[in-house]
């Protein structure tokens, strides 16, 4: 096992080679020059072994997941991702091959999402492996999509399908006997490797009235949007888009849909839009090849209500994930 400086030179410096202002990770800091007329959108997310990933998860996927949870936040803010800083706390006895595979995952997603590494920190920890990325994206002017901004009459929309990540985690822990193997693999892949909606995200700035990334359960996250906007959000349960695998599970378990809207790890964007912009949204969905579904609407009031298939409104217990919940 080599020292800190060798680890940085061997595994992380190659990830900064396309960023001349990272100076090969041989200086104390890097420079970043935003494009003219753009603002930087900043976000950070950390992942911890035993909480966000499991000890035996493939290291390349852990690296990619770290980047993708941050990419998802930038997408939900209407930003185009550009660069990131990386902090790694490795257990002292970590195998260097693990670090090499982790870095390969980072490299693959840097290429896929067109971002570069600018710097970071590397430390040893007596605790579980912990990684944090701080990511930089750009928006025109100040056009960052906020959680605040939804207005009564707006449509509530989401990208992709809801619940797959949470159902994938369940499949890892207690596989459902009736589910075909390909659909199980699909759900587990959705848990391990979120697909951040960066293409449509960048198009939502200036189109959506509010937006956020759904990572802690649709209902809980829509609740944040409603609170910050000072409105009520109605989620039409029957309209929430489920994947074929989730619908397959729903055939034998009517509770799947309710679990889907409170489970975490979706990494979709949920946003609101004035109805007059629906045509522009449909065109953006086509151009970005992203599924978009209207799942409800915004009304005067507060909080989230779920419209059940029989038409009655239910006030959900928030559900969703809270690290300090007890």
Binding site for Mg ion (CB under 5 A): 121
* DSSP state for residue 8 in the 8-state scheme: I
* DSSP state for residue 262 in the 8-state scheme: T
Q: What is the CA radius of gyration of the chain?
A: 20
Contact between 88 and ligand ADP by CB under 6 A: the answer reads: yes
Residue 237: partners with Cβ closer than 8 Å, 6 or more residues away: 257, 258, 261, 306, 307, 308, 309
Contact between 63 and ligand ADP by CB under 6 A: the answer reads: no
Contact between 3 and ligand ADP by CB under 6 A: the answer reads: no
Which of the listed partners (Mg ion, ligand ADP, none) does 8 bind, with a CB threshold of 5 to 8 Å by partner kind?
A: ligand ADP
Which of the listed partners (Mg ion, ligand ADP, none) does 234 bind, with a CB threshold of 5 to 8 Å by partner kind?
A: none
Contact between 99 and ligand ADP by CB under 6 A: the answer reads: no
Choose, by CB under 6 A, the member of 122, 195, 228, 318 that binds ligand ADP: 122
- Given a contact cutoff of 8 angstroms between Cβ atoms, the answer to whether 298 and 150 are in contact is yes
Which of the listed partners (ligand ADP, Mg ion, none) does 88 bind, with a CB threshold of 5 to 8 Å by partner kind?
A: ligand ADP
Contact between 212 and ligand ADP by CB under 6 A: the answer reads: no
Helical (H) or strand (E) element with 10: none
Contact between 121 and ligand ADP by CB under 6 A: the answer reads: yes
CA 286 to chain centre: 21
- Given a contact cutoff of 8 angstroms between Cβ atoms, the answer to whether 43 and 72 are in contact is no
Tell me which residue has its CB nearest to ligand ADP: 119
Helical (H) or strand (E) element with 148: none
Choose, by CB under 6 A, the member of 86, 203, 258, 305 that binds ligand ADP: 86
Cα angle for residues 211, 269, 278 (degrees, 5° grid): 70
**Which 6-35 residues touch ligand ADP, going by CB under 6 A?**
8, 12, 25, 27-28
Residues at the contact surface with ligand ADP, assessed by CB under 6 A: 8, 12, 25, 27-28, 86, 88, 117, 119-122
């Amino acid at each position: 096992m080599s020292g800190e400086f060798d680890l940085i030179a061997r595994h992380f410096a190659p990830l900064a080679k396309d960023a001349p202002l990272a100076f090969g990770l041989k200086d104390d800091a890097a420079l970043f020059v935003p494009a003219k007329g753009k603002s930087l959108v900043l976000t950070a997310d950390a992942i911890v072994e035993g909480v966000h990933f499991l000890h035996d998860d493939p290291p390349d996927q852990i690296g990619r997941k770290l980047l993708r949870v941050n990419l998802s936040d930038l997408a939900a803010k209407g930003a185009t991702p550009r660069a990131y800083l990386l902090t790694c706390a490795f257990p002292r006895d970590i195998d260097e091959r693990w670090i090499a595979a982790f870095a390969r995952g980072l490299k693959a997603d840097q290429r896929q999402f067109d971002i570069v590494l600018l710097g970071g920190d590397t430390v040893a920890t007596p605790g579980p492996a912990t990684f944090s990325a701080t990511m930089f994206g750009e928006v025109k002017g100040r056009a960052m999509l906020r959680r605040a901004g939804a207005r009564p009459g707006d449509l509530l929309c989401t990208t992709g399908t809801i619940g797959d990540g949470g159902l994938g985690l369940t499949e890892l822990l207690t596989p459902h006997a009736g589910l075909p193997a390909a659909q199980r693999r699909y759900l587990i892949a959705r848990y391990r490797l979120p697909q951040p909606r960066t293409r449509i995200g960048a198009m939502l700035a200036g189109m959506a009235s509010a937006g956020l990334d759904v990572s802690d359960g649709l209902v809980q996250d829509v609740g944040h949007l409603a609170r910050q906007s000072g409105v009520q959000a109605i989620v039409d349960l029957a309209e929430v888009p489920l994947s074929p695998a989730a619908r397959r599970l729903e055939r034998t378990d009517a509770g799947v849909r309710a679990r889907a809207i409170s489970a975490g790890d979706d990494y979709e964007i949920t946003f609101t839009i004035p109805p007059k912009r629906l045509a522009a949204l449909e065109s953006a969905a086509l151009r970005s090849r992203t599924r978009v579904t209207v799942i409800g609407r915004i009304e005067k009031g507060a909080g989230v209500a779920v419209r059940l298939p029989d038409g009655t409104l239910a006030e959900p217990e928030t559900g969703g994930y809270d690290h300090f919940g007890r």
